[in-house]
Every structure is written in structure tokens, then in C-alpha cells.
Amino acid sequence: MLKKIATSSLKPGMYVANITQHGLSLHEHEREGRIKDQTTIQSLIKRGIKELYIDTDLGVDSPDAITLEASEKKLDTKIKDIAQTSEPERDVKSTSLSKELGKATKLHSEALDLVNNAMSSVKSGQSVDISPFEDMADNFMDSVVRNQNALACLSRIRKKDDYLMEHSVNVAVLMSILGKYLKLERAYLHQCVTGALLHDIGKILIPDRVLHKPDKLTEEEYDIMKRHATYSQKILQRNARFSQVSINVAAQHHERLDGKGYPLGLKGDEISKEARMASVADIYDAITADRVYHKGMTPSNALKRMMEWCGPHLDTHYVHSFIKAIGVYPVGSFVKLSNDKGAVVIEKNPDTLKPHVKVIYDFKTQSHTHVSVLNLSLEHCQERITQVLDPNDYGIKLKDFML
């Protein structure tokens, strides 16, 4: 049985399991195997690995190890605690979701075209014109201030063949939402969002056999893929009008706090704040996306994995702020309610445990139900969220119900 254990509680004879999810190794301990002596344990501690998984069928068990189920529950509670420390006044919406959705839909589609066109320009050797990206960053920030749920909804609706463009746009949306929560200075956030829109532009220079490979990349192919961050940096540097902040987002979004990232292996404070925020947004979008070779995680599972990556990989402060900014049940989550109905989260409320939901499914009859919107925050509303589920397990296509 797989169990989770604090690295400090490891003992020789335990079998460390290497759980790789979505191409991202959970704790970067690439090798799995039996712990032979104290030296191995000390080296894991030295590398900043706080927790890892052991397989109790292959090695010694421990009363300090907890089951995966218990570990997930613990993370759930921690996420709820983090979200509940947020300040409600940070969530003021000046426009209704339905009103903002019209503007946001237009913006979102224009942003996809913009990124697409910039990629074509770069592929044909031309440089990127900054002005439309600056305008788009302004528009995203304004839309998020009016009502962040509109762009958040749109970023949950994906077409499988458009990943590169959608990912660039989504990271910019998430960066805008995080920046709004953190009350970042507008001029600085503007540079961050501009950089986010173009953070992966260098991927267009990666050979198609690597970029579009439907299977897991070999080590050699992964090395080629890693070059995209430097390519993105160089593409932006070609135009003197791009700020250093935007360039940092592009150049450093795959760096990790423990120095095990790429391209430079920068550590801790050597990584700019903008890149640390961008990597939170980048990872969240990447692991929630359906790709040819893996199924996207639910938003809630993504937040749990990101909690585990805090410290050696991701900046804890920005992960916690991100959770507060998008909520415990991010827009697009499929949830089970206490009345046995299934609903999709469509709007975050100041109490992030009680969002606006659209009821779409009846678990008793296992069929779709009359669609209705419910605000779980209203005083007279008795319903609460009991579980987060994967809509695919019930044959539900959320995009049919999000807008």
C-alpha cells in the first residue's frame, strides 16, 4: 500500500516509491527503492524534501506513515484553512457575471488570435509587436477587476488541439487574478501579464517532432523542449520595448526554488517574484489541461498537488495567495451537493467554500436535471458542497454548462 511519510520519519528498510504525475515528479527523487542506510535519509532531508511516499508492500511500514486517503483529507483541510484567512473585501465585483461574459468572450478569442499570429510571425523570422499585447494585458486586468469569474470560466473551456495558445492566454488570466488578489501595483502587474501572454512563445521554435509528440518525451527530447524558455527570452529581448519584468516571466518560469529548474538552475531569491508567480499559474494550467498523453486533474486535485510542491519547487506565499485568489472550489469545478445533486462552480463568493453553482445533475437518478443557479452563500440556502468529482466519470461535458 502506498503511504505518505515525513522524510524525517524515514527508516532504513522502507521502500520509497517514485510517483510521477503528468511528467512532473512529485518530489524529484527520481529513483525508487529500499532505503539502505541513514546517509540516504540525510541526503533526502538535505535536498529539502519534506515528505515522500513509501510502498508498504515492498518495505517496512511505520505508524508515522498515513494512507493516501488520509493525506488527501489533510491537504483538503489545509487548503480550506488557507482560503478562509482571505479578506472578503478583496472580492468586490463591479459587474455581474452574465454582463462581463460577453466582453470576456470577445477578449479571450482576440487573445488566442493574437498569440497565434505572434507565433506565426516568430516562425517566419519576424519580431513580436508589443503594442497589441500591452493592450490585451490592460483589457485582461480590467475584466478581472470587474468580475474575474468571466475570464476564469472561459479559461476552463478548452479545445484539445489548441493547447499552446490556450495555455498562454490562461496563464495571463491566472496571473491577472493572482495579481489582483495581491494588490500588485498596476504598472508592474501589466508587465507580468504581458510576459505571461508570451511566456511560451519560444515553443514555436521547438521542432514539431518534439513539440507535438503524443507520448512522454525521452531525456534527449526533454532537453530540446527545455530550450523554449531561453528562446522566449531571446524573442522578447529582440524588441527593446519589452520590460525586464516581462522578459523574466518568459526566461524564468521553469526555474524552481531548490535550483532544480531550468534553464539556469536559479535558486530562491535569484528567481524574480514575477517568475515565481508565473510558475504557479503555469503549473496550475498545465496540470488541469487534458493532453493527448494525460487527462487533466480536477482544479481541486491540482491545488493539492501544488500544496505538496510548496517549498522545494513553488513559492509557498504565492501558492497560498493563488488558492485565496481562485478559491477552494475554482470556477469549473464539478461538485456534489448535500442534496445529492451535481453542480458546476460558476462564480467565486467572498466565502470561497460557498460559491455560485449551476445545478446540472442528479446522483440519485444518475441523469441530468433541470438546470438552475444556486448561490450557496445565501443565508436561506441549506445546500453545501460535500465532494469534488471528475465530471468525465459521469459523462458530463462541463463546457456545455459553463456559459
- Of 18-26, 134-142, 200-208, 326-334, the window that binds Fe ion (rule: CB under 5 A) is 200-208
The CA distance from 71 to 69, in Å, is 5
Min dist. Cβ of residue 202 to Fe ion (A): 8
> To the nearest whole angstrom, how small is the minimum distance from the Cβ of residue 200 to Fe ion?
5
By C-beta, is 200 or 315 nearer to Fe ion?
200
Minimum distance from residue 212 beta carbon to Fe ion (Å): 15
DSSP for 122-145, please give it: HHTTPPPPSHHHHHHHHHHHHHHH
How far apart are alpha carbons 216 and 213 in whole angstroms? 8
Closer to Fe ion by Cβ: residue 166 or 200: 200
- Residues 6 or more apart from 241 whose CB is under 8 A from it? 130
The residues pairing with 21 across neighbouring beta strands, listed in sequence order, are 24
DSSP β-ladder status, 24-25 and 334-337: unpaired
Q: Could you say whether residue 308 binds Fe ion (CB under 5 A)? A: no
53's grid cell: 511516499
Q: Which three cell numbers stand for residue 227?
A: 530550450
Binding range to Fe ion, per CB under 5 A, among 11-19, 193-201, 315-323, 385-393? 193-201
Examine residue 166 and tell whether it contacts Fe ion (CB under 5 A). no
Element (H, E) at 5: strand 2-6
Q: And the C-alpha cell for 110?
A: 482576440
Closest distance to Fe ion from the beta carbon of 328 (Å): 27
Q: What is the total count of residues that contact Fe ion (CB under 5 A)? A: 1
Regarding 200 and contact with Fe ion (CB under 5 A), the answer is yes
Burial class (CB in 10 A: 0-12, 13-18, 19+), 12: middle
Smaller CB separation from Fe ion, 200 or 347: 200
CB of 58 to Fe ion, least distance (A): 35
Q: Which is nearer to Fe ion, 200 or 274 (CB)?
A: 200
Please identify, using beta-carbon distances, which residue of 253 and 354 lies nearer to Fe ion: 253
* Cα–Cα distance for residue pair 205/174, rounded to 1 Å: 25
Q: How many angstroms separate the Cα of 285 from the Cα of each of 15, 19, 153, 205, 400?
A: 32, 20, 13, 22, 20
Instruction: Map residue 308 onto helix, strand or coil.
Output: helix
Query: What number of CA atoms fall less than 13 Å from residue 255's CA on the CB side?
Result: 25
Q: Identify which range of 116-124, 192-200, 215-223, 317-325 contacts Fe ion by CB under 5 A.
A: 192-200
User: In the complex, what is the shortest distance from the CB of residue 257 to Fe ion, in angstroms, rounded to a whole number?
Assistant: 17
Question: Within 10 A of 62 (CB to CB), how many other CB atoms are there?
Answer: 17
- The residue range among 42-50, 93-101, 146-154, 199-207 that interacts with Fe ion, by the rule CB under 5 A, is 199-207
Question: How many Cα atoms sit within 13 Å of 309 on the Cβ side?
Answer: 27
**CB closer to Fe ion, 45 vs 112:** 112
Distance CA 279, CA 356 (A): 28
User: Mask 100-119, x = binds Fe ion (CB under 5 A)?
Assistant: --------------------
Of all residues in this chain, which one has the CB nearest to Fe ion in the complex?
200
Please, which residue, 12 or 263, has the CB nearer to Fe ion?
Answer: 263
- What are the grid coordinates assigned to 161, written together? 488541439
Closest CB 228 distance from Fe ion, rounded Å? 6
CB of 26 to Fe ion, least distance (A): 19
Angle value at C-alpha 210, between 209 and 211, nearest 5 degrees? 100
In whole angstroms, how close is the CB of 187 to Fe ion at the nearest point?
25
Identity of the residue, 13 or 207, whose beta carbon is nearer to Fe ion in the bound complex: 207
Would you say how long the chain is, in residues? 403
Using the Cα atoms of residue 228, residue 233, residue 239 and residue 244 in order, give the sign of their dihedral: positive
Instruction: Specify the stretch interacting with Fe ion by CB under 5 A; choose among 124-132, 144-152, 198-206, 360-368.
Output: 198-206
Cβ of residue 36: shortest distance to Fe ion, in angstroms?
A: 37
CB of residue 185 vs Fe ion: minimum separation in angstroms?
25
Measured from the CB atom, the residue of 134 and 255 that comes closer to Fe ion is 255
Q: What is the spatial distance between Cα 401 and Cα 343, in angstroms, rounded to a whole number? A: 9
Q: Which residues bind Fe ion (CB under 5 A)?
A: 200
